[in-house]
Structure 1
Amino acid sequence: MSPLAKISSAYGPRFAEFAFEPAFTAAVDQHVAELRERLSAGGAELTPPAPDHADLTDYALGFLDALAELDWREPVGHDYAVCRLTAISWLVHRHGLLPEQRRGD
């Protein structure tokens, strides 16, 4: 399973929390914006373009490696890593970056 698929599988279910956790929603939104800027997927367009699949995968691998080095364990609430991983998952979902998401196009 690809890193983006693993992250999406693990953190996509957290989208349901957006309905009752406005602070979590805002934090994830900020992480999405930062990721778009970091990966140069931002721009002046009203609807930002999709991030490059390879760039997001490379970023996700590096982030997961850093978490492994820190021996990070997912907390009950929302820390920086949970927000970042949820943001990665949101970008994957929003832009259909997994092969199984693109089949319907």
Structure 2
Amino acid sequence: MRSGFDAQGPLARLSREFDVFGPLSGSTEPWLTAELDQHAAAVRDSIASGGAPLTSRSLTSYLRGFVDGCRERGWHSTSAEYDWETVRLLAICRLAKECGFVR
């Protein structure tokens, strides 16, 4: 098992939940791939601007802060469409998988 891998951590739980309806492992529409790439770059930049490397811990911290902000604004995704917050969460999940933080 990879060092730092947590099968029950927030990144793993979110990735499992989003893999049910999100395009995390298969091919996606070109527009969504571009959106996910842009969101992933923004997440990486945000973490780096705080002086931290991209690690499971820093990505989890970003995830918690992002979700807290969504909750404070009253966000909940009930539509079949990909809203901004959902795409950002999918990008976080994809980053976690690409970096080997989750399986």
- Superposition TM-score tier, normalisation by shorter sequence: 0.7 to 0.9
From the two aligned structures, give the one with the greater helix fraction.
Answer: 1
- Please tell me the root mean square deviation across aligned C-alpha atoms, in Å: 2.3
Could you say what secondary structure the match of 2:101 adopts? Answer: coil
How many residues are treated as equivalent by the alignment? Answer: 91
Unaligned runs of 5+ in 2: 1-7
Name which of structure 1's ranges 52-61 and 66-75 shifts more when overlaid on structure 2: 66-75
Instruction: Please state how far the C-alpha of 1:40 moved relative to its aligned partner.
Output: 1.9
User: Of 9, 14, 33, which aligns to 1:7?
Assistant: 14
User: In structure 2, what is the Cα distance between the partners aligned to 1:61 and 1:16?
Assistant: 20
Q: Which aligned segments of 4 or more residues in structure 1 are displaced greater than 6 angstroms?
A: none
Could you say what secondary structure the match of 1:40 adopts? Answer: helix
Change (3 A) 1:55 1:17: closer
2:83 matched residue in structure 1: 79
Q: TM-score, normalised by structure 2?
A: 0.74
Identity %: 31
Name which of structure 1's ranges 50-59 and 23-32 shifts more when overlaid on structure 2: 50-59
Q: TM-score, normalised by structure 1?
A: 0.73
